Homo-oligomer: A and B are copies of this chain.
């Protein structure tokens, strides 16, 4: 076993530490975050810090790094109160990664990285037309984290857009069929292979596959 303690973590070379800490918790939700300014300048950035906060009301949280001058995303979310999350697919994951480049304020990553904006009636922020699972959110809460200068953004899901046939009979989104990707650390992209869907766990019952026939080739 390799053991790394607090004092050693603090002394690690900066880039090594960033890669290590970013990859510790495993695979992360991967989405493109779409916003627009009040002037209609769109913005798009890849994000892997979203988390499920609750189903009723339907809430999703995400972390925005310390505000820099050209950080349009947080400003747009605060100004318009709306934003989108869109899944990342293998055909264009390199373009999605490219949205993490530090483009100047005013340059839309939709254009620079070759994504098509999709607008729907009554919703200000642009969706990514190339994605097949898109979420429209309305800002509910902004929490400034004194501990490290990041910002937690909490939003309510007010619009779901998916390609037909991607939501299962029980409500679960079929990310295998959608080809949704995931990321570990900062830069390594993956496609998950299903292992099994398990039944709701109860204390006196041994854990088991929800539907062994279906799950044999999930």
Contacts and interface: CB of A to CB of B under 8 A. Distances in A.
Given A87-B26, A94-B198, A193-B191, A6 B141 contact: no
Q: For the side of the interface on A, what is the size category?
A: 35 or more
A15 B171 contact: yes
Contact of A200 (B54, B148, B187, B206): B187
Nearest to A60: B25
Interface in A143-191: 143, 145, 147-148, 150, 152, 154, 156-164, 166-168, 170-173, 175-176, 180-182, 184-191
Q: How many copies does the complex hold?
A: 2
Nearest to A202: B101
Contact of A98 (B4, B21, B51, B201): B201
Interface SS, A side: mixed
A37 interface: no
A203 B154 contact: no
Contacts of A79: none
A68 interface: no
B51 A50 contact: yes
23 contacts: A1-B163, A2-B161, A2-B163, A4-B160, A9-B157, A19-B170, A21-B54, A23-B173, A23-B175, A24-B133, A24-B173, A25-B52, A25-B135, A26-B29, A54-B147, A54-B148, A57-B148, A97-B198, A101-B203, A172-B184, A172-B186, A188-B194, A188-B198
